[in-house]
Amino acid sequence: MDDKQVNQDASHIEKEIVLSSEKNAAYIPEKDAAHTTKNEHIADTGARRESVALNIVENPLTRQNKVQCVAEAEAWAVKHGMEEHAALFGRAALVARDPDRFEMLTEIDDEERTALIYEREHKWNGPFMLWYSISLCAIGAATQGWDQTGSNGANLSFPEEFGITGPGKNEWIVGLINAIIFLTAGLIGAFIVDPLNKYLGRRGEIFLTAICLTVTPIGSACAQSWQGLFAARFVMGIGIGAKNATVPIYSAEMAPARIRGALVMFWQLWVVIGIFLGFCANVIVKDIPKIAWRLQLGSAFIPSLILGIGIFFCPESPRWLMKHGHVAKGFQSMAKLRSHPIIGARDYYYSYIMYETELAVARGAGYFSRLRDCFTVPRIRRANYGASTVMLAQQMCGINIISFYSSTIFTDVGYSKDQALYASLGYGAIQVVFTIPTLFLIDTKGRRTLCLITFPLMCLFLLAAGLSLLNNDINLSQGARIGPVVLFVYLFTICYSLGEGPVAFQYSAEVFPTIQREQGMAWAVCINNTFAGILSLTFPRMKSAMSPTGAFGFYAALNLIAWVMIFCFVRETKQLTLEELDQVFSVPTSSYLKYETTVWLPYFIKRHILRQKIIKPPPIIEKADAHGAVPVA
């Protein structure tokens, strides 16, 4: 099925969008009525109980009565060659139409009702293939973390090997060797994702990048000059960028909405596990001085080799298959990723209905048209604001000056090389330990909330670490001089692991529509990796020019700027399907900022700082299903 046919399939949805835009909101305060636009998705006052939310995330299936819903779902299944599943999709459509009251449906049988109840009461329930696929992709993330820490330890040795020690030009060369994988990841790797995904699929693209990231670390270990090391890391960066832009999307497209944040967050968990394992490798090989740095860089091939072999056993992304016209194959893939056919059919049919809505308003199908949409289409531009903000904030917070240069920082304040490696190992262990609780917080507290809480704390701890570097009293013990630096770096790392660390790639992978997802994620990865490269390139020179304390203070100030950016541009996405997020980002930025500054912020200050007992204001966005009422047949 080609794009023309898919657009024809979407014609009836386009009519519904027009009709929906003409309805009145369930509740819009008079002072905010001017901010409501005809393109916002809002609830039907005749169909739902009154809502206090300013904007409703609407389920398009509620526009049909039960008979129409079943008939259209069955006809859709037949049209796409799934005649044997027509009745299943009819029942699944009814469940998707009113997911909170499926127990009242007489059309589903007892086995299906039991499976749906079990899913509701056991949110972590899922088949082996779901957990296998998510976990395998997460292992691929370890490559990036492992390489960061491999170069962290190698920075103590390879400059001497190649005669590039000392200030001035050599500082820039060392910075460039560290930075190049991120610069090529952001400027090249991220932007070849779309053609690779188009022709190879998600699985094929991941396999290709896994091969690249298996070969290039070995090439780095065998380099005979700094130019050779630079070349190997140049190619490695391209593979990292392409992998970073695809694996989170692949995971997000497979995961159920109720735990998507936690499952996709396995990416960040395995990045930090890779960081920890890289530090372990640094410590293990530290007593082999002549080739220690080669082993530290080369060992990063291990997780990519596992990824390349294991990806053959994973199903293709259901949404990728749907997008490319393989609708029946997409359902087969979704069925492998859900614990019961009724659950798989419900999720897949609902995804397709929302995808048709996207097609009805899509402005172009070409690569550059879709990339342009990320900056010109209001809904996608707002998502781009959010994704770009969290990706940029990850570099602004300063975490990567620790990941890239912690061993160098610790030796500069008085640790021996061995002590610095062990202190860095502790840093890696803390990231692993404190990323785990976020698995349970990200889908309950939310992405935005975690960031808003942790960024001010990160600012304070990073500033304290920088000020502790000024303690050069020779009368104090080594522990008294160095201990506070290590303590505040560890506290800073704990806050990062509970907030920005897990959020950045998770948020960026979910906020873009299916049609522009590759382009949106490519742009987000470009920002993240390019600024990581700039940070890695400039920090050695910054440390000399500004002093370590000045460099830490600079990044502490950037944490406050990042907090303001997150407050303004990052919208909450927890527990919504990828398709429902379309409506979250349909709220105009002016309306969103007005609500945040005039309603939410005063409430927060009065309730949580001044400790006043006041009523919580209405949310700006709420799911229609939360009100428990839909059109009655």
Do 445 and 505 lie in one domain? The reply is yes
The answer to whether position 41 is within a domain reads yes
Residue 500 and residue 585 in one domain: no
95 inside domain = no
pLDDT number for residue 516:
80
167 with 275, same domain?
Answer: yes
Res. 24: pLDDT tops 70: no
Residue 158 to residue 308: CA distance in whole angstroms: 29
Determine the pLDDT at residue 18. 38
Q: Does 526 have pLDDT greater than 80?
A: yes
Does 363 have pLDDT greater than 70? no
Mean pLDDT (whole number) for 206-211? 93
Whether 420 maps to a domain, the answer reads: yes
| Predicted local distance difference test score (pLDDT) of residue 63 | 84
Strand partners for 623: 57
Same domain, 220 and 333: yes
State the Cα–Cα distance between residues 335 and 347, nearest whole angstrom. Answer: 10
Q: Which of 403, 430, 404, 406 is nearest to 495 (CA)?
A: 430
Sequence-separated contacts (24+) of 277-280 with Cβ below 8 Å: 277/142, 277/145, 277/146, 277/149, 277/428, 278/145, 278/146, 278/147, 278/148, 278/149, 278/150, 278/152, 278/153, 278/428, 279/149, 279/152, 279/153, 279/421, 279/424, 279/425, 279/427, 279/428, 280/425, 280/428
- What is the rounded CA–CA span in Å between residue 373 and residue 392? 20
| Domains contained in the chain, number | 2
Condensed to tens digits (0 to 9), the pLDDT of residues 219-248 reads 999 999 999 999 999 999 999 888 878 887
The larger pLDDT score, comparing residue 442 to residue 311, is at: 311
pLDDT at 613 (0 to 100): 86
**CATH code of the domain covering residue 350:** 1.20.1250.20
**Boundary (domain end) residue, out of 536, 561, 579:** 579
The rounded mean pLDDT for the chain is 80
- Do 542 and 513 share a structural domain? yes
Tell me what pLDDT residue 17 has.
37
What is residue 83's predicted lDDT score, i.e. its pLDDT?
93
Alpha-carbon span 274 to 251, nearest angstrom: 18
pLDDT number for residue 400: 80
> Over 60: is that where the pLDDT of 384 sits?
yes
Same domain assignment for residues 599 and 565: no
Beta-carbon-side half-sphere exposure of residue 452 (alpha carbons within 13 Å): 18
Give mean pLDDT, residues 63-70.
90
* Tokens of residue 194, six digits: 């779309």
Q: Per-residue pLDDT for 298 more than 70?
A: yes
**339 or 413, which is more confident?**
339
pLDDT score for 86: 95
Q: How many CA atoms lie within 13 A of 439 on its CB side?
A: 14
Is 68 among the domain residues?
A: no
pLDDT at 539: 81
> 149 with 16, same domain?
no
- Give the pLDDT confidence score for residue 152 in this predicted structure: 72
Number of other residues whose CB lies within 10 A of the CB of residue 5: 10
**191 within domain boundaries:** yes
The residue ranges of DSSP E strands in 410-548, in sequence order, are: none
- Residue 56 dihedral angles phi and psi, to the nearest 5°: -110, 130
In a domain, 123, yes or no: no
Predicted pLDDT at 261: 64
Distance CA 238, CA 290 (A): 29
Q: Residue 621: helix, strand or coil by DSSP?
A: strand
Q: Is the pLDDT of residue 169 over 80?
A: yes
Separation between Cα atoms, residue 555 and residue 561, nearest integer Å: 10
- Among 260, 280, 266, residue whose Cα is nearest residue 351: 260
**pLDDT tens-digit profile of 481-513?**
778 888 999 999 999 999 888 888 878 878 888
- C-alpha distances out from residue 590 to 119, 236, 276, Å: 38, 42, 43
Main-chain dihedrals φ then ψ at residue 147, nearest 5 degrees: -65, -40
Average pLDDT of 138-162?
78
**Shared-domain flag, residues 377 and 484:** yes
Report yes or no on whether pTM surpasses 0.85.
no
Q: Span 193-216, mean pLDDT?
A: 91
Q: Does the pLDDT value for residue 5 go beyond 60?
A: no
Highest mean pLDDT (candidates 57-66, 390-399, 520-529): 390-399
- Mapping DSSP to helix (H, G, I), strand (E, B) and coil, where does residue 55 land? strand
Both tokens of residue 415? 């640790």
CA gap 72, 74 in Å, rounded: 5
User: What is the domain range of residue 145?
Assistant: 128-579
Q: Is the pLDDT of residue 628 over 70?
A: no
For residue 265, what pLDDT is reported? 66
| Residue 370 forms part of a structural domain | yes
Strands (E), 54-137: 55-57
Would you say residue 303 has pLDDT above 90?
Answer: no
Return the pLDDT at 40: 34
Q: Are residues 270 and 401 in the same domain?
A: yes
pLDDT band of residue 591 (cuts 50, 70, 90) is confident
Q: How confident is the model at residue 377 (pLDDT cuts 50, 70, 90)?
A: confident
User: Does residue 475 fall inside a structural domain?
Assistant: yes
Same domain, 221 and 339: yes
Here the tokens at position 601 are 């912020």
Q: What is the mean pLDDT of residues 116-140?
A: 86
Q: Which residue has the higher pLDDT, 257 or 322?
A: 322
CA 410, CA 432: separation in Å to the nearest integer?
Answer: 20
Same domain? For 326 and 452 the reply is yes
Please spell the DSSP secondary structure of 497-525, one letter per residue. HHTHHHHHHHHHHHSS-TTTHHHHHHHHH
One domain, residues 454 and 592: no
